[in-house]
Structure 1
Amino acid sequence: MEQPEIANAVREVVREIAPDIPEMEENISLNSLGLDSLGSVELTLRLEDRFGVVFEDDELAFENFESVASIVDLLSAKTAA
């Protein structure tokens, strides 16, 4: 899957969890847009299901899930491996 496709899928998952979040630019903090800690946990679980991956403990760092861009980077690396 190409990065733009991954980014669109990530946006879809975020909107499922937090439909009130406005349009998401790739480098904007999801937390600043209103995604709370419970939403972040839900996001990681849904991304694992959507992409068929498992996030390792060391990958569950805030900076990996801070923005659409950081999530795309993580998922690109996981799906390429």
Structure 2
Amino acid sequence: MVGLGENNLPTKIGAKLTMDSGKIVAIVTGAISIILAVAYLVLVQILDFRGEMVPAPMETMGLLTHITAIANGSLLPFS
């Protein structure tokens, strides 16, 4: 009778190690998730702190001048 309990000992030890390693992986994964969430919130706050996002004016890019010239026909080669 005493020998029967000893046969299950490696199985119990292996199961306990598997559960412990699973808990470690879960804790590490949770910590990484929390770190990424906090980093995301900090990034959003930094971007929001900069103020309202206003597009660049078209006049400063010189694009409007070329579009107007093409529309008026002054840049066409056959005019």
Q: TM-score, normalised by structure 1?
A: 0.21
Larger radius of gyration: 2
Which has a greater percent of helix?
2
Task: Please give the TM-score of this superposition, normalised by the length of structure 2.
Answer: 0.22
**Structure with bigger RCO (C-alpha 8 Å, 6+ apart):** 1
